[in-house]
Structure 1
Amino acid sequence: MTRSLLIFSILFVMAQGKAQDFQGQAVYESKTQINIDLSGRNIPEDRKKRIQERMKQMGERSYVLDFNRTESIFKEEEKLDSPQGGNGGRGRMFMSMMSGGAGGDYYKNVTDAQYKNKVELFGKIFLINDSLPTWEWKLGSESKKIGQYTAYKATAIKQVRRPNTAAMFRRGAARDSAATMIEKEVTVTAWYTPEIPINQGPSDYWGLPGLILEVADDVTTMVCSKITINPQDKVAIKVPKKGKVVSQEEFDAIARKKTQEMRENFRNRGPRGGRQ
């Protein structure tokens, strides 16, 4: 964190101290691009279209961020018409890997820079307990309106590890798990508003002198569609407690193993596997 950004953050925290009961809720619409090359596979064209449409639907999600001046919790809004059906856990894990962000119930405490993330992985609940990522934000002068708020641009670089979908779903591809993942650096672009002076944001994003209203990396864009400040009915921000406690590194290792199993199962089903 740069010195100027640190000073901004301290000033905003001091200002927030005058409003102990400050609370708000933000709704975010998220879209993740999932590009899977189905060429060369013995799949009818109509089925390819259904697969692509299902992937598109899986990539469109809504989230709610409940926050006060020091804490927040970020959760997905459940939809009754979810296309995942009985594969909800598998679909959520895949989407989390694609977006490289947080899934489950993601609790942040910006005072002690810690998070707790309750995640379900193939029927088992884990509680990830670790330090928040450090974002080296670069503040820009560019601004735009998001809803009724003036938002300012900030950028950062992050290292991501994403599924290599070309290798993951290709029959006869190398069977080592490393072949199914790609590591690279991507640019994150965030838009924050000092009109809501808290250093919170969706997923694992935080650390700017104002609420993050929009954020995008190479595959996922999240945009705030609704904000409620100091609602009449307060929402308790509860720290997740249920699940097997693991670090982020430990959970990633478990997820990689499950990814390998998922890839093997997908291959073994062949072109006729799976229900539509």
Structure 2
Amino acid sequence: MKTKVLLGLLFLSIGVFAQDFRGKAVYKTHRKIDFKLGDKQGGENSALQKQLKAQLMRQFQKTFTLNFTKNESTYKENKALSSPQQQMGGMQIQIMGNGGGNDVLYKNIKEKRYANKTEISGKRFLIKDDLPNYGWEMTGETKNIGKYTCYKATRKRTETRRTIAFGDGDKDGDKEEIITIETVAWYTPEIPVSNGPESFWGLPGLILEIQDGKQTIVCTEIVLNPKETIEIKEPRKGKKVSQKKFETIMEEHTKDMMERFKNRRRSNDGNSVHIEIQG
């Protein structure tokens, strides 16, 4: 009888722990850059190309925090001191389609939906849609990340790779091709939440590392049940759109920005820049 009472209390305490379970994970991102200047700037080994590539890579190196419970999470960029925009060789580097430190991605794992607050040129949008079904394939391969044993899962998708050339007159042009991208996720069942960085989710444990095309996201810190209160609030403000509608808006905005940039470049000395954009 005493044993049954003890077991009952144990299961009750486990249930309460699961309900109150929360934590935070810090992730760092970086991305490989395909970048080539035209011959007039000295080619791929020129000092200008190396400077531009280094600046682009710095803009993709960011730190984010995922605050999570069993069923909900928010994913936000950690605010850092902004560096002034630089111009090199008459070219200004700008990453389009990134709302920056004000973005908030909320995920509700139980209800399989998300809300993403973001901005484009000062206009605030609230993207509300269902969480994507990634269709992960388990491999059984393992590795350690920090003190956690992680398991490998993969998926593949097709997407459009776009090469954009800015130059003088008829040298301008875009080239598109369909490519296959593999995503590799490393998750740990030791933290039993079906969540991860960005929109990634759907595995039986927290995702600690993502290799998605040329982007890598790695967890550098985990705090479970921290002393400070973790508030997870779903964003409510912004023009409500679906993911598909937002992608259409982004495509139109990107084309407009490209045209304006090309027009400015035509008035210069005709040097060309080739940038490959992919996930």
TM-score (norm 2): 0.79
| 2:188 corresponds to 1:193 | yes
Aligned runs of 1:30-69 on 2, under 5 Å? 30-42=29-41, 45-69=46-70
Root mean square deviation, CA, Å: 2.9
Structure 2 match to 1:238: 233
Unpaired runs of 5+ residues, structure 2, are 1-13, 87-93, 271-279
Residue 160 of structure 2 corresponds to residue 167 of structure 1: no
Q: Indicate conservation of the 8 Å contact 2:36/2:49, yes or no.
A: no
Is the 2:71–2:109 Cα contact (8 Å) retained in structure 1? yes
Counterpart code for 1:184: I
Q: Which residue of 2 aligns with 1:268?
A: 263
- In structure 2, what residue type is equivalent to 1:237? I
Q: Which residue is 2:79 aligned to?
A: 78
Q: In structure 2, what is the Cα distance between the partners aligned to 1:105 and 1:140?
A: 32
User: Cα 1:146–1:49, aligned 2, differ >3 Å: closer, same or farther?
Assistant: same
Map 1:141-160 to 2 at 5 A.
141-160=140-159
Paired position in structure 1 for 2:110: 111
Per residue, is there more strand in 1 or in 2? 2
Report deviation, 1:34: 2.0
Which stretch shows the higher mean deviation, 148-157 or 45-54? 45-54
Q: How far apart are residue 40 of structure 1 and its match? A: 3.2
Question: 2-side partners of 1:188 and 1:56: how far apart?
Answer: 20
Equivalent residue for 2:245, pick from 233, 245, 250 = 250
Q: Quote the offset at 1:74 in angstroms.
A: 0.8
Structure 1 spans left out of the alignment, 5+ residues = 1-14, 97-102
CA distance 1:92–1:67, shift in 2 (3 Å)? farther
Is the Cα contact below 8 Å between 1:59 and 1:95 reproduced in 2? no
Q: Which residue type is aligned with residue 148 of structure 1?
A: K
Partner of residue 91, structure 2: none
Choose which of 206, 210, 213 in structure 1 pairs with 2:208: 213
> Whole-Å Cα distance in 2 between the matches of residues 82 and 201 of structure 1?
29
Residues 28 and 237 (structure 1 numbering): CA distance in 2 closer, same or farther, change over 3 Å? same
Secondary structure at the aligned position of 2:202 is classed as: coil
Q: Distance in 2 between matches of 1:75 and 1:53?
A: 24
Moved more, 258-267 or 35-44: 35-44
CA change 1:136–1:76 in 2 (3 A) is same
Spell out, residue by residue over 1:66-117, the C-alpha distance to the aligned partner (whole angstroms, 9 max, x if none).
10000111111122044658xxxx5252699xxxxxx921111111110111
1:26·1:225 contact (CA, 8 Å) conserved in 2?
yes
Q: Which amino acid in 1 is paired with 2:141?
A: E
Q: Secondary structure at the match of 1:239?
A: coil
Distance 2:84 2:160 in 1: 25
2:95 corresponds to which letter in structure 1? G
8 Å CA contact 2:96, 2:254 repeated in 1: no
Is the 2:195–2:207 contact (alpha carbons within 8 Å) kept by the matching residues of 1? yes
Aligned with 2:224 (options 207, 229, 237):
229
The 3-state SS of whatever aligns with 1:228 is strand
TM-score, with structure 1 as normaliser: 0.80
Partners of 2:209 and 2:84 in 1: CA distance: 25
Amino acid at match of 2:164: A
Aligned ranges for residues 175-190 of structure 1 at < 5 Å? 179=174, 182-190=177-185
8 Å CA contact 1:167–1:173 kept in 2: the answer is no
The percentage of aligned residue pairs carrying the same residue is: 38
What does residue 140 of structure 1 align with? 139
Deviation at 1:39, TM superposition (A): 2.4
